[in-house]
Amino acid sequence: MAAKEDILEQLVEEYLIHRGYFVRHNIKFKPRKDHPDFIANEDSNHSDIDVIGYHPKLTGPEKIWVVSCKSWQAGFNPTQKITEIHDGKIANGREAWKGFRELVKHKWSEAFIEAIYSATNSREFTYVTAVTELKGDRTIWEEEISFREAIAGNPIKLITLREMLQAVFSELGTTMAGTELGRTLQLFKAAGISV
């Protein structure tokens, strides 16, 4: 049986589909072996882009959404996470920067942008961090200068599970949805369950 994506990834997909995006999941990337900073025992395993959304009718960075999903039940505190990353702290059992390697290490940023280019033929995109719950000021994350520099000046957004659910829920009709999650949400709506 094929593994299912994380439920947050499924919600991101549903949200993007409702906004007119085509969606791909789990795009692999890793630093190139000839990168001057490549270290075989640290850089040989792929990371992946959780979700890429491509909108054929939009232009600029909104045309492509590149989404990193963080389905942490404790929520996401931008200030705390940036401090953990910059101070080399351990978070969720590993060095905090490893959860955001594309925003922190040049060799990973380069590989990340190349993976997006390979999938979309563009280096212009919006980097989105999807979280279960936001605990703090989103602009601290969205405006972090070192992150913006790492992804070639592209914009950064943070979006919550609640924001996506509310957007999808408001657009659901009675025509059967195209995804399992969409159909489940339709049934919740039909049962009078709201978000």
Query: Which of 143, 169, 168, 167 lies closest to 157 in space, CA to CA?
Result: 143
Instruction: Please state, in angstroms and rounded to a whole number, the distance separating the CA atoms of residues 37 and 105.
Output: 10
Average pLDDT, the chain: 93
Whether the CA torsion 145, 150, 152, 157 is positive or negative: it is negative
What secondary structure letter does DSSP report for 63?
Answer: G
Q: Could you give the residue ranges of the DSSP H alpha helices within the chain?
A: 7-18, 40-43, 78-86, 101-104, 106-120, 138-142, 145-150, 161-171, 180-190
Q: CA 164 to CA 143: how far, in whole Å?
A: 21
Instruction: Look at residue 2 and tell me whether its pLDDT is greater than 60.
Output: no
- Domain topology for 7-189: Trna Endonuclease; Chain: A, domain 1 (3.40.1350)
Q: What is the pLDDT of residue 173?
A: 86
Structure pTM?
0.93
Q: How confident is the model at residue 4 (pLDDT cuts 50, 70, 90)?
A: low
pLDDT in tens, 54-83: 999 999 999 999 999 999 999 999 999 999
The reported pLDDT for the residue numbered 98 is 93
Mean pLDDT of 49-58: 98
Tens-digit pLDDT profile for residues 88-103:
999 888 999 999 999 9
For residue 92, the one-letter residue type is N
More confident: 146 or 181: 146
> What is the spatial distance between Cα 5 and Cα 73, in angstroms, rounded to a whole number?
17
3 — pLDDT class (breaks 50, 70, 90): very low
Using alpha carbons, list the distances in angstroms from residue 27 to 67, 74, 86.
Answer: 11, 26, 26
pLDDT digits (tens, 9 = 90+) for 120-169: 999 999 999 999 999 999 999 999 999 999 999 999 999 999 999 999 98
- Residue carrying structure tokens 């399992």: 180
Take residue 190 and report the two structure tokens written for it.
Answer: 């039909």
Residue 106: how many CA atoms within 13 Å on its side-chain side?
A: 4
% of the chain beyond a pLDDT of 70: 97
| Residue with the two structure tokens 């490549």 | 38
Higher pLDDT, 38 or 53: 53
Give residue 5's pLDDT band: very low, low, confident or very high (50, 70, 90). Answer: low
Please tell me the predicted confidence (pLDDT) of residue 35: 83
- Residue 17: how many other CB atoms lie within 10 Å: 17
Residue 95 β-bridge partners = 90
Q: Is the pLDDT of residue 1 over 50?
A: no
Contact call for residues 158 and 67 (beta carbons, < 8 A)? no
Average pLDDT over residues 166-194: 88
Show the tokens assigned to 62: 């909104």
